Amino acid sequence: MTDDLDVGVETRRLKKLMTILHQALYILIFMIAALEGGAAAAEPYRELPAEIVRLWPYHASLVILGFALLIWGMTVARRKDKGWLKKHKVLGISGAAFVIAGMTMAAYMISAASQEHFKVPHAYLGSFVILLLILTPTFGLLQLKVTQEKRSLIRWVHRLFGRTALLLMALNILFGMLIVSSA
């Protein structure tokens, strides 16, 4: 009985810690957004290199398609209709694959334009989203393989990472639109 109590206490402590980290992440994101907005306003008008102008629609299309698939996958999981888990897996993994393809296109686009990688917060945030998009399905699949005691904690982390990834993706898509529209 005390082992069950210890697991419950540890689970609550971990959830509280994850909530604090989640809130700190939101504060960091808004600080980066404020810095990026201020930097864009302070910079004079500059034209994007021709390679970026030519390739950015491919990057944007892949990322937006992946984002749409991930949102669809989240709604399927929330509704829990018949066969939801299989659809959720397919949509989630497909969405993550499209976003990773979009990031690959971004890396190629920056290289082709002979630009410096990780020059703007959009690139850093995008890389962090990719990390979350790798970890989220990993936790999702892991929760199906562990004991019942660990399952609820792993499911909570899976949901937290998934929601955070979607929120950060939406914010980063806005950052990308600001970059393109300011040039």
Domains and CATH numbers, the chain: 2-182 (1.20.120.1770)
> pLDDT tens digits, residue range 108-120?
888 887 777 778 8
* φ/ψ of residue 83, rounded to 5: 75, 20
Contact 47, 183 (CB under 8 A): yes
Residues of the chain above pLDDT 70, percent: 78
Closest alpha carbon to 86 in 35, 125, 141: 141
Contact 153, 11 (CB under 8 A): yes
Q: What is the rounded average pLDDT for all residues in the chain?
A: 82
> pLDDT tens digits, residue range 140-167?
999 989 888 889 899 999 999 999 999 9
Distance CA 19, CA 137 (A): 20
pTM of the complete model: 0.73
Contact 179, 125 (CB under 8 A): no
Name all contacts of 169-173 with Cβ < 8 Å and 24+ positions apart. Answer: 169/63, 169/67, 169/70, 169/99, 169/129, 170/67, 171/29, 171/33, 171/125, 172/122, 172/125, 172/126, 172/129, 173/60, 173/63, 173/64, 173/67
pLDDT score for 111: 84
pLDDT score for 1: 45
pLDDT score for 27: 67
Specify the residue for token string 């929120």.
Answer: 167
Q: CA Rg, the chain, in Å?
A: 19
Whether the predicted pLDDT of 174 surpasses 80: yes
